[in-house]
Amino acid sequence: MRLFTGIKINAGDEIIEMQRYFKNRYRMKAVEVENMHITLKFIGEVDDREVEKIDSILSGIYFNGFNIKLRGAGAFPDERRARVIWIGIISDDLLKLGREVSEKLSMYNDEKFSPHLTIGRLKDITNISEDLKKYRERDFGEFYVDHFSLYKSTLTPNGPVYDEIKKYFSRD
């Protein structure tokens, strides 16, 4: 089973408008609104019996609820050779939580936490730097985070399907 931890995001009109803008200009597969999330840690393929161990680790993470601000935009690996378009996230508390989750699950992979919200994947490597200019300083909303979740990800011909396995709530 393919797993990751993340925080579900409810996409506002500004995010949907940005997706539409890039989809109309480039060959882009937009992230479905119901699938929008901030990945804390991609765990990858694990045996079913590993889920209990992962749950035990995640249950030991304590945090207080916090606000995140979605602001600015960019691309991976960079704007001139873009494959993924993302919205930036501002929150020291999210950084702290993401690093802790990443560190405690480092036995599954050693990728470091890089906070962002993926809004689409380009089908071709593309230079989008000019079109990103109007989004670099834009605010996309603020959200209160009181939990994160463990998700199962199933890849299908129509795109990924995310099933929430368990929620991990803040202390407050």
Q: Give, in order, the Cα–Cα distances in Å from 93 to each of 54, 65, 99, 139, 150.
A: 22, 9, 10, 19, 19
Number of structural domains found in the chain: 1
- The answer to whether residue 77 sits within a structural domain is yes
Interatomic CA distance for residues 6 and 21, integer angstroms? 26
116 is catalytic: yes
Report the pLDDT value the prediction gives residue 140, as an integer from 0 to 100. 97
The residues of the chain scoring below 70 in pLDDT are none
Q: Which domain holds residue 154?
A: 2-167
Q: Is residue 36 part of a domain?
A: yes
Active site residue 37: yes
Out of 4, 8, 15, 37, pick the active-site residue. Answer: 37
> Would you say residue 40 lies in a domain?
yes
The predicted pLDDT at position 158 comes to 86
Q: Please check whether residue 80 lies inside any domain of the structure.
A: yes
CATH code of residue 158: 3.90.1140.10
* Confidence at residue 159, expressed as pLDDT on a 0 to 100 scale: 86
Query: For strand 159-169 and strand 147-156, is the pairing parallel, antiparallel, or unpaired?
Result: antiparallel
pLDDT value of position 172: 86
pTM, full prediction: 0.93
Of residues 115, 116, 150, 153, which has the active-site annotation? 116
pLDDT score of 102? 96
In a domain? residue 148: yes
User: Is 172 part of any domain?
Assistant: no
